[in-house]
Amino acid sequence: MASAATARSGRSTSAVVFLGRRRLRLDERDLIGEGGEGRVYRIGDLAVKVFTVPDAAREQKLRAFPTLLPPRVVAPLDLVEDGRGSVVGFSMRALAGAVDLHRFSQRRWRDGQVDSATVLALFRDLGATVERLHARAIVVGDLNDGNVVVTPPSSAPLTAGAASWTPWLIDADSMQFGAHRCVVAHERFLDPRLYGVDLGTTDALSRESDWYALAVLLFGSLLYVHPFGGAHPSYGTMLRRAEARCSVLRSDVKLPNVAARPDVLPDDALAWFERVFEHDLREPLPSCILDTRFVRCACGAEHSRRSCPACTARVHVTPAVRARGRLRATPLFATRRGRIVAAVVQGGLHYAYEEDGQLFRERGAPVLPATGEEAGDALASIFRDPARIVRIAGSATWVGARGRAAKLACQRVLESRPIGLVHGELAADAGLEGLVLVEGDALVRGANDTRIGQVLAGQTRVRVGSSLGFAFYRAGSLTVAFVFDPRRGVLRQIEAFPRIEGKLLGWSAVFDEAHVLVTFATEKRGRLEHTAHLVDARGAVIATDPSGDVLGPSLAGRAISGGNLIAAREDGLVLLRADRAAARFVPVRLFPEAEDFVSPDAELLVGPGGSIFVVTHDDINHLCFTTD
C-alpha cells in the first residue's frame, strides 16, 4: 500500500509476494488493472491478481478451481502468497494488446475499425466458449463487457477480418462451479428476473443468466445501445425499463443519437431479441443472428436488408436550418462514409474526420502523407492503424498509436516521438500549445522538452486544453491529481482530490480558460457510476457530482464556459452553475427546445456568443439562441 508521502512525490511503491518459490516485487508502475475485488499487475508474460480483501473462501475456491478449461478462458495458474504463507491472489496468462469488449459497443471506436461481420464471428467464438463451460457445469455468472477482452493478432492488420479478433474470458475466479458461487453480477447484464436476489446465498445465476448476458453484449455491439438504453417517458432509468421489459425495440423509446437503427437487422433477428428482452426467452445465441450477412451502403451504414433503412429514412430532406422556438440549428458538416475523430474550438471550429481509411481536416484537406515512403515504415503503420488517436493543434494535426505520435501539416510529418502507454492509452495529449507527454517519472512539454513536474511512471494520464491541463494517477488507495499550464510553469497538486473507487472504465476532461471538468466512469460492486469534479486553475475542487444524478451518466455531452456548465440530457440542454459553498452543481435553466438536436453521447463545444457546436460520430450542428 502506498503511503501518502510516497504517492504524492510521484515515486513508485511496491509490495512483495511469492509465486511458489519465486519472489515477486509488485510495483505501481506494473499495475494494469484495478477493481473492487483486487489489483492486477503485469510481471513478464504473467498477470498477477492480488485481492483487496483475501479470505478463506477465496483460497478454497482457487484450490478447487477446475482444470483443462476452454483455451479462451484466462484461468488461474498458480496461487500467490504473502510472506506469512497466506493466499492473497493468483497468477494467470497476460494478454498483450487486449481491449475490453465494451469498446465494441462504442460507435466512435468501432465504426470504420471493426465491421458487423467481424462482431458476429467474435460472438460465435465467445458463445462456443460459454457453451463448453456449461458442458462442464461451470457458469460464468458475472458475464459483462469488462470481463470479456478482445485481442487482435500482432502480425495482422486490425481489420483483417473475422479471424483478426479473439475474445477471452477473464476474471475467471468469479465463475460458479460446484459449491462455489458467483456472488456478484453487473446490473446492466444481470437477468431482470434476478433483480433483488441475494446471489451469495442462492444458486440463482445459471446457464440462462449467461445466455441473457450474451444477448445484451451482442445487441450493444451491433447497435451501439443497451437493450434498455435510450429514454422513455414513463420509466426514468435503465433498471426500471428492464423491470418493465420496455426495450429500445418499442416505438415509444427514444434512441440515443449514436445508436444504429434496429431495423438494420433482419426481421427474424429483431423478433428473437424482442422475445429475449420483452418476453424472457433464454437460449444460446441463434443462427438467425450469428449467420446474418451485412452489406455496407454507399451512405456508410451497414445493414442486412434489400434496401438501406438509413437511406430510406433520409428520403425526405430536412431544411438546412431548423428552428425550435428561440433555437436555430444549422448543419455544418456530415460524413456518411466515415466518422468524426476530433473537434475543437481554437479561435474557430476545427475538426478531423475519417472516410474510407483516410484522414481529413475541415474543408476536405488530407492529413496523411500521400505514400508510405514519405512517412517511413514506423509512422506508416501508425497512420494505417484504425485505432489511432487524433488531436488538433491549429492547422497542424497530431496522430498517435502503438506508442508513437507524429505532428503533421499539409501531408508532411513535422516531428514525431515515442510515447508511453497507460493501460493501452497514450500517456500524452496535444492541443494548441503542442504536445504534453509523460517521460519516465516526469510530465514534459514536447515543444521544448521542459519538465512540468514529477508524476508516477507508467500510471499517469493527461489531458490538455488551450490554457489548462489535467493529469492524475492512482497509487494504492490514493488518487493524486494535478493541474498545470501547458505553456509555462509547474504542476499544481489538487489538494483533497476525491479518490477514484472501483475499476476505472473511462474518463474525460473538458476545459475553459480557467477550469477543467473531469468525469470518471467506474464499476463498483457490479454498478456503473459516473463522478464529475469541477476544478479551477489554482487546484481547488469547486463542485462535485458524486453519482451522475445532476450531470447525467455519461462521459460526453458537457462543456464549460466561465465556470458555468452546459450539459446534454435526453430532455434538452441544461445550464448549471457551481455552488462553491455547497460544493455542488445547481441547475439554472433547461432548454427543452434543444431536445431534438442533442444527446448525452454527443460532444459539446462552446462557440461564439454562447452558441454550442454539437458533435456526434458523423455530423456537426451549430445551435444558436435568438433574442427575438
Q: Which three cell numbers stand for residue 174?
A: 468469479
What's the pLDDT score for residue 5? 36
Would you identify the CATH topology of the domain 4-93?
A: Phosphorylase Kinase; domain 1 (3.30.200)
pLDDT of 626 higher than 80: no
Q: Domain 343-556, CATH 2.120.10 — does that match?
A: yes
pLDDT of 159 higher than 80: no
pLDDT tens digit sequence for 361-388? 998 999 999 765 556 666 777 777 767 8
DSSP annotation of 495 = T
pLDDT tens digit sequence for 383-424? 777 678 899 999 999 999 888 899 999 999 999 999 988 887
pLDDT of 317 higher than 60: no
Check if the beta carbon of residue 108 is closer than 8 Å to that of residue 617. Answer: yes
Check if the beta carbon of residue 342 is closer than 8 Å to that of residue 390. Answer: yes
| Max Cα distance, the chain (Å) | 78
Question: In 10 A of CB 318, how many CB atoms?
Answer: 9
Give the residue-averaged pLDDT of 156-163: 41
Range name among 116-120, 123-127, 155-159, 201-205 with the lowest pLDDT average: 155-159
DSSP annotation of 85 = S
Q: Is 226 helix (H, G, I), strand (E, B) or coil?
A: coil
Q: Which residue has the higher pLDDT, 314 or 18?
A: 18
pLDDT tens digit sequence for 12-56? 566 899 998 899 999 888 888 887 788 899 998 999 999 988 899
Whole-number Å distance between alpha carbons of 423 and 433: 25
pLDDT tens digit sequence for 171-187? 999 999 999 999 989 99
Percent of residues, the chain, with pLDDT higher than 70: 93
pLDDT of 248 higher than 70: yes
Question: For residue 408, what are the β-bridge partners?
Answer: 397, 413
What's the pLDDT score for residue 161? 42
pLDDT of 336 higher than 90: no
Report the run of H or E that residue 418 belongs to, with start and end: strand 412-418
Q: Is 553 helix (H, G, I), strand (E, B) or coil?
A: coil
**Cβ-Cβ contacts under 8 Å for 598 (sequence gap 6 or more):** 557, 568, 569, 572, 573, 604, 614, 623
What's the pLDDT score for residue 98? 87
What's the pLDDT score for residue 162? 39
Whole-number Å distance between alpha carbons of 621 and 331: 4
Give the residue-averaged pLDDT of 219-247: 94
Sheet with 434-439: list strands edge to edge: 428-431, 434-439, 442-445, 450-454
Whole-number Å distance between alpha carbons of 384 and 401: 10
What's the pLDDT score for residue 371? 67
Give the residue-averaged pLDDT of 100-105: 93
Whole-number Å distance between alpha carbons of 96 and 45: 9
Percent of residues, the chain, with pLDDT higher than 90: 68
Give the residue-averaged pLDDT of 444-462: 94
Residue type, 313: A
Q: Is 79 helix (H, G, I), strand (E, B) or coil?
A: strand
Looking up cell 484537406 gives 365
Report the run of H or E that residue 138 belongs to, with start and end: strand 138-139
Domain with CATH 1.10.510.10 in the chain: 100-313
pLDDT of 263 higher than 70: yes
At the fourth CATH level, the homologous superfamily of domain 100-313 is: Transferase(Phosphotransferase) domain 1 (1.10.510.10)
What's the pLDDT score for residue 3? 34
Check if the beta carbon of residue 278 is closer than 8 Å to that of residue 249. Answer: yes
What's the pLDDT score for residue 108? 82
Domain with CATH 3.30.200 in the chain: 4-93
pLDDT tens digit sequence for 181-223? 999 899 999 999 999 999 988 889 999 999 999 999 999 999 9
Report the mean per-residue pLDDT for the chain: 89
Report the run of H or E that residue 167 belongs to, with start and end: strand 166-169
Domain with CATH 2.120.10 in the chain: 343-556
pLDDT of 4 higher than 70: no
pLDDT tens digit sequence for 474-510? 887 789 999 999 999 999 999 989 999 888 989 999 9
What's the pLDDT score for residue 425? 86
Check if the beta carbon of residue 402 is closer than 8 Å to that of residue 381. Answer: yes
What's the pLDDT score for residue 325? 85
Band of pLDDT at residue 304, cut at 50, 70 and 90 = very high
The CA-atom distances, in angstroms, between 492 and each of 11, 427, 539 are 17, 19, 6
Give the residue-averaged pLDDT of 605-620: 93
